[in-house]
């Protein structure tokens, strides 16, 4: 079954860290770029980060640059998002999304169901 | 950064009738390949977004042919020829030419 399954969300205090995971199955994970996209409660979609198929040429949204780190382990078919120095405005459902291509920018043809991150004291 | 603007933000529709959503970008989405890097996504209630249209007018796999995309440069349109009850949700346009950015979303609901 072709799918992406996120995990690792939860409630965390401001300033603390959290690591999200995204497990892929049903396709050749190492061939495709993967993104993180988030959605604050009741709000629209916000792109967070991209990691191409080979892990090179990573990009981040300005809102998370310097605090979040995207990585992947192609041997485990898994994507990660290390989130440090969390802020209240990082509260959102975090989705991983597969690209149509291996690198660069392209459309998201497969989305995970998302994992909720709540930053609150 | 490329800013995406959708209209309307709310769209009451009647089943069987057509519907249309507009999306404008702050700069041209024409890539050197000749394709426009403009996508349309639908987020049904309680679900993750799903890809409907990419390259401005190419339907994604499994998308019914009542959905069509058109436009060029900075102006794009998603058309639904005959709305069905299952089409309710929030529609987003997204540019994939540079760091992705989404429109505000258009909420489609049945009258």
Kindly state the tokens that stand for A18.
Answer: 């959290």
Per-residue DSSP letter, B57: T
pLDDT (tens digit per residue) in A47-69: 999 999 999 999 999 999 999 99
Q: Does residue A104 carry a pLDDT above 90? A: no
Look at A111 and B54 and tell me if their CB atoms are within 8 Å. no
- Which positions in chain B touch A37 (Cβ < 8 Å)? 100
* Preceding peptide of A84 cis, ω within 30°: no
pLDDT at A91: 98
pLDDT (tens digit per residue) in A25-35: 999 999 999 99
Buried b (16+ CB within 10 A) or exposed e, A9-47: beebeeeeebebbbbbeeeebeebbbbbbbbeeeeebbb
- Which positions in chain B touch A106 (Cβ < 8 Å)? 37, 54, 96
- Average confidence (pLDDT) over B97-105: 96
pLDDT at A101: 81
pLDDT at B14: 96
Nearest chain A residue (CA) to B46? A113
């Amino acid at each position: 079954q072709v799918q992406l399954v996120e995990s690792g969300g939860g409630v965390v205090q401001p300033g603390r860290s959290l690591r999200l995971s995204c497990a892929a199955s049903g396709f050749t994970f190492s061939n495709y770029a993967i993104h993180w996209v988030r959605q604050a409660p009741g709000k629209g979609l916000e792109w967070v980060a991209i990691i191409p198929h080979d892990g090179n040429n990573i990009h981040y949204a300005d809102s998370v640059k310097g605090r979040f780190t995207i990585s992947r382990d192609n041997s485990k078919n898994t994507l990660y998002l290390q989130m440090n120095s969390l802020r209240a405005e990082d509260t959102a459902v975090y989705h991983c999304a597969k690209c149509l291509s291996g690198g660069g920018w392209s459309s998201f043809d497969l989305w995970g169901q998302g994992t909720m991150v709540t930053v609150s004291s | 950064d490329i800013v995406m603007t959708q209209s309307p933000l709310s769209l009451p529709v009647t089943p069987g009738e057509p519907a249309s959503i507009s999306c404008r970008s702050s700069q041209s989405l024409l890539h050197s390949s000749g394709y426009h890097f403009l996508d349309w996504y639908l987020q049904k209630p309680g679900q993750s977004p799903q890809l409907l249209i990419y390259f401005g007018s190419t339907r994604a796999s499994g998308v019914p042919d009542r959905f069509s995309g058109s436009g060029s440069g900075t102006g794009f349109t998603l058309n639904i020829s005959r709305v069905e009850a299952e089409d309710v949700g929030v529609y987003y346009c997204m540019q994939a030419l540079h760091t992705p950015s989404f429109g505000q979303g258009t909420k489609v609901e049945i009258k």
